[in-house]
Structure 1
Amino acid sequence: MNFVQPIRDPDVIEEIELFLKEKNERDYILFLLGIYTGLRISDILSLKVKDLKDKKYLVINEKKTRRKKNNGRSIELNPILKKALKKYLKDRPNHEYVIKSRVGNNKSITRERAYMILREVANEFDIDSLACHSMRKTLGFHLYQQTKDIVLVQKTLNHEDSSYTLRYIGIEQDTVNSKIATLKYY
């Protein structure tokens, strides 16, 4: 599997949102949940309507970090995400999955389907390194760009080490690349 990257260009993010909103509202909500909560795809796919409908906060025990101490987190929902969720969840029953599959009776889409949705986006926008984790990395990257607070990003992504977070969101490599690009020997 290739190393995936965040979506660095805000204009591309906006274009992807518009593309998905026109194509399929469920896929649009999937993307918004990814870039505005920073949750892993497994956690997004496990969400039910009752977890988000008319809520200011999403309270979640992340699957990957479930065994760690103090795992239960409360994530304030971004106003853009809240507005989209209000419309999307309006008439949906509480027991239903948010990212519901069209196949079966009240099942979430699979991780594979989520990956295929993002690969369609990657093909549409000619992005090489886009996959499910790109949404999470996108939140981390832009949060860092706007705040320059790596500890905040580390806590948001529920990482244990800030040096890992810098590598994870691509900042370390961006810094190396920019320094090499400006290197002069004489």
Structure 2
Amino acid sequence: MELVQPIRDEKKIKAMVKVLLSNKRDLLLFILGINSGLRISDILKMKVSDVIDEKGKPRQYYELKEEKTGKYKRFPFGERIQKAIMDYLKDYDGDRDRPLFASRKGNKAITRQQAWQILNDAARAVGIEDNIGTHTLRKTFGYHAYRSGIDIAILQKIFNHSAPSVTMRYIGITQDEIDNVYINMNLG
């Protein structure tokens, strides 16, 4: 498995949103991933009933038991996620127990490989050449949260990492900071 990077450039994120606008399911996958920090395994197991109530309105938050860690987690749906949910499920009156990210081939969720393909196609369409994968969504969340001033200790807790240094390395901050030292050294 290759190391994947966060999407650091916000213009590229906005460009990917534009590319994904033609498919509301894929757009929700992207928006949910970059705004929640959830692992793709936890995103893909979501059901329609996890995001909308009986009246078809977006829920305020999502609660889950993380597949990898077995820990319980709760996170509120921000405004951008709620909008993407509404755009995708507007006037939905079908089976609320179906997968949120249903495959076109039946009542199963898309696979991790299908999610990877969706993200890679959109990334390549906007000129991103870094290694992109499903983990890119989670790393992008952490990278931009940190850059916006969120304390690394909070991100460490969100990601269930053992130390702040692990979180820094995970979201690509350590390498960025090292690169900046070299770039900004102009002695002589």
Length-normalised TM-score, structure 1: 0.92
TM-superposed deviation, 1:148: 4.4
In structure 1, the residue corresponding to 2:63 is in which secondary structure? strand
Report the 3-state secondary structure (helix = DSSP H, G, I; strand = E; otherwise coil) of the residue aligned with 1:75.
Answer: strand
Which letter maps to 2:142? G
**Deviation beyond 3 Å, 4+ runs, structure 1:** none
1:29-178 pair list within 5 angstroms: 29-53=28-52, 54-66=58-70, 71-90=71-90, 91=92, 92-104=94-106, 106-128=107-129, 129-178=131-180
1:54-97 per-position Cα deviation (integer Å, ceiling 9, x unaligned): 3111101110111xxxx111101111111220232241431111
- For structure 1, the residue ranges without an aligned partner over 5 or more in a row are none
Other structure's SS at 1:178 match:
helix
SS, match of residue 108 in structure 2:
coil
Q: CA deviation at 1:142?
A: 0.5
Q: Secondary structure at the match of 1:139?
A: helix
| Structure 2 alignment gaps of length 5 or more | 53-57
SS in 1 for 2:148: helix
Amino acid in the other structure paired with 2:160: N
Matches of 2:21 and 2:156, distance apart in 1:
30
Percent identical residues: 40
**2: CA distance between counterparts of 1:115 and 1:33?**
15
RMSD of the alignment, in Å?
A: 1.3
Structure 2 counterpart of 1:55, one-letter code: R
Give distance in 2, aligned partners of 1:185 and 1:88.
54
Q: Per the alignment, in what secondary structure is the counterpart of residue 179 of structure 1?
A: helix
